[in-house]
């Protein structure tokens, strides 16, 4: 299925999907090198160092997989092929960290192989990207248990 790419990042939550319990539905990827020895990490838009590409699954996207690939494009500037559904991961943040801007979420992650890294992408001025080993990525994600769980479920070489 052809991925539609634009240089505009989607912003806002008006087209956001929500689950039965009111949780925000978030789709993300664990973007791997072809040989599965490295994972592509991106700088968090807020504080919090390095993260995996992820974002809201929107109403005009038929599948969470489409949303995940769009997020990989917008945030990391990569064209990728999903190889594996890593399943649903619940939000593990304590309720004290939940806010109107950051409501409870349900994460659906996919393992993808990076086919191409573009030199220009929608969020290139906000985010850097870097390839990491499993150990580097796991250390960077230590305070993000839902992202660390996605990494652990991937076939990235340990």
Could you tell me whether strands 24-32 and 105-117 are parallel, antiparallel, or unpaired per DSSP bridges?
Answer: parallel
Out of 24-28, 31-35, 43-47, least confident range: 43-47
Percentage of the chain beyond pLDDT 90 is 76
CA angle 137, 58, 50 (to 5 degrees): 15
Q: What is the mean pLDDT of residues 2-26?
A: 77
Q: What is the mean pLDDT of residues 28-33?
A: 98
Question: Would you place residue 103 in the very low, low, confident or very high pLDDT band (cuts 50, 70, 90)?
Answer: low
State how far the alpha carbon of 36 is from the alpha carbons of 30, 111, 124, 125, in Å: 11, 10, 24, 27
Question: Would you place residue 14 in the very low, low, confident or very high pLDDT band (cuts 50, 70, 90)?
Answer: confident
Q: What is the pLDDT of residue 67?
A: 97
Q: What is the mean pLDDT of residues 69-91?
A: 97
Q: What is the mean pLDDT of residues 82-105?
A: 84
Question: Would you place residue 1 in the very low, low, confident or very high pLDDT band (cuts 50, 70, 90)?
Answer: very low
* Structure confidence by residue, pLDDT tens digits, 113-142: 999 999 999 999 999 999 999 999 999 999
Q: What is the pLDDT of residue 22?
A: 85
Q: DSSP readout, 45-80?
A: SSSSSEE--EEEPBTT-SSHHHHHHHHIIIII-EEE
* Domains of the chain: residue spans and CATH: 24-93+101-153 (3.90.79.10)
Cα of first residue to Cα of last residue in the chain, in angstroms, is 31
Q: What is the pLDDT of residue 112?
A: 98
């Amino acid at each position: 299925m052809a991925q539609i790419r634009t240089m505009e990042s989607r912003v806002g939550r008006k087209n956001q999907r929500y689950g039965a319990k009111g949780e925000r539905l978030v789709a993300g990827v664990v973007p791997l090198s072809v040989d599965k020895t490295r994972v592509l990490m991106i700088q968090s838009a807020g504080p919090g160092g390095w993260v995996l590409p992820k974002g809201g699954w929107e109403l005009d996207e038929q599948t969470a997989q489409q949303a995940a690939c769009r997020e990989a494009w917008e945030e990391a500037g990569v064209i990728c092929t999903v190889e594996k559904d890593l399943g649903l991961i619940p939000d593990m943040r304590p309720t004290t960290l939940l806010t109107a801007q950051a409501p409870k979420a349900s994460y659906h992650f996919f393992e993808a192989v990076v086919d191409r890294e573009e030199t220009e992408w929608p969020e290139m001025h906000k985010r850097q990207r870097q390839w990491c080993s499993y150990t580097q990525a796991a250390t960077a994600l230590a305070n993000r248990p839902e992202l660390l769980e996605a990494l652990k479920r991937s076939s990235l070489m340990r």
